[in-house]
Amino acid sequence: MKIGSVTKPNILFFTPFFKQHRGNSTTALRLVEGLKMWDATVKVFAYEEEEWNEEIEAFFNEADLVHVLHLKRFALWLKTVPHLKLDMPYILTSGGTDINEDLKSPEATCLIESVVNRSCGITVFSQDGRQKLLQAYPELNDRVYVIPQSVWLPKNEAEIVPVLPGKPALLLPAGLRPVKDVFFLWDELKELHDRYPELTFTIIGAALDPTVSEEVETRSRKHSWFHYLKEVPLAQMAAIYQQADIVLNTSLSEGQSTALLEAMQVGKIVMARRNPGNESIIQPGHTGILFDSPEEFRLKLEKLLENRNIQINLVKHAQTYMNSHHSLEGEMNKFLKVYTHCLS
């Protein structure tokens, strides 16, 4: 396939993580799968998991285009290999936190500027992300593209999949770090468990912050209705979503939650804390439920559990929305325009 002036381009994809199951690796796995549609030669380098070596550098020197995931993390890593020169066209894709949280720091803003200025295209998940990036760097107006995420869940070949107990089974997929605020609903969940004795709350995700991780482990030992499943391969996630009744997001900020999108695609009800990233994919009362406070969450959950028609309609509308707005083919068609621009 010819992209711009290049036939079958060599693409080096930089991602902070590729093996560890977290948001960046899910995005990277999906985009690399999508790039295969173009008959491109793609090599992945996980710059926070791997050591730079001669083989990767040789491919880097022959690459027609470089695609980078996460602005701040990449800018930091690039300082550790000062001999590398990004002389070829390169695209940056925001990971979410780099815009929602890192740009609050003047030091991080200056660091990120070192990589955004010479890029040929920058992609973000939502209009809110675009506005935040342009607020920091207004000169980038003509090269920031909004490309909503899609969903790609690989086939599960494992014989054993973790079991979600309880009814209703509430699932929160989140790496354990402060921005995910995983205990935002804790007090209300305890009250709900008194009313619904079979209710369970399960967190699934990598242990990324020692303080948060320790608290999760402590509470899971103390409360029989609260479970922590740690890190699970992406290929098992569809089977885990299938067991959940409701999938939650309690993050202080989000770029665009792949977990919510995956759950909606699988046919699960989603309830999420109101923030711009979650608002970009949830139409309240139509494709999911948004809440501002723990009390509002409890009231809306009780209403939801008592009305089967609301449950059915939420799932139906969410799947229709996903098929129309978040297909992998649609996402890659949007990326193709950016790639074509950079390689023309």
Q: Note the pLDDT of residue 255.
A: 86
d(CA 177, CA 101): 13
Assess if residue 320 is contained within a domain.
yes
Q: Are 96 and 16 contained in the same domain?
A: yes
Whether residue 337 sits in one domain with residue 319 = no
Q: What is the pLDDT of residue 5?
A: 85
In sequence order, the 6+-apart residues with CB closer than 8 A to the CB of 23 are 95, 96, 175, 255, 257, 258, 259
Tell whether 123 and 29 lie within a shared domain: yes
Q: Which two tokens stand for residue 257?
A: 């939650």
Domain count, the chain: 2
Residue 196 pLDDT greater than 90, yes or no: yes
Examine the pLDDT at 61 and tell me if it is beyond 90: yes
Residues 10, 71, single domain; the answer is yes
d(CA 12, CA 47): 12
User: What band does 198 get if pLDDT is binned at 50, 70 and 90?
Assistant: very high
Per-residue pLDDT, 73 = 96
**pLDDT at residue 158 greater than cutoff 70:** no
For residue 47, the enclosing domain spans: 2-150+327-343
Q: pLDDT tier at 222 (50, 70, 90 boundaries)? A: very high
Q: Are residues 198 and 316 in the same domain?
A: yes
315 within domain boundaries: yes
> Same structural domain for residues 193 and 255?
yes
Give domain status of residue 176, yes or no. yes
Name the nearest CA neighbour of 256 among 144, 128, 153, 137.
128
Residue 156 falls inside a structural domain: no
Give the pLDDT band (50/70/90) at residue 245: very high
Q: Are residues 338 and 282 in the same domain?
A: no
Average pLDDT over all residues of the chain: 94
331 with 295, same domain: the answer is no
Where residue 18 sits, what CATH number does that domain have?
A: 3.40.50.2000
Confirm whether 69 is domain-assigned.
Answer: yes
Give CA–CA dist 75/165, Å, rounded: 42
Confidence of residue 95 (pLDDT cuts 50, 70, 90): confident
Percent of the chain whose predicted confidence (pLDDT) is above 70:
99
* Residue 164, domain member (yes or no): no
Domain for residue 155, yes or no?
A: no
Are residues 126 and 232 located together in one domain of the fold?
no
Contacts of 273 (CB under 8 A, 6+ apart): 181, 184, 249, 250, 251, 252, 290, 291, 292
Q: What is the pLDDT of residues 254-279, one digit of tens each?
A: 989 999 999 999 999 999 999 999 99
Q: Are residues 207 and 115 in the same domain?
A: no
Q: Are residues 213 and 180 in the same domain?
A: yes
- Taking alpha carbons only, the member of 82, 71, 70, 81 closest to residue 26 is 70
Average pLDDT rounded to a whole number, residues 22-34: 90
- H or E stretch at 72: helix 71-78
Two structure tokens written together for 271: 């309830």
Please write the tens of the pLDDT for every residue from 293-302. Answer: 999 999 999 9
- Residues 194 and 286 placed together within one structural domain of the fold: yes
Give Cα separations from 325 to 38, 128, 289 (angstroms). 21, 17, 18
Mean pLDDT of all residues in 159-185: 94
Asked whether residue 263 is assigned to any structural domain, the reply reads yes
Q: What is the pTM of this model?
A: 0.88
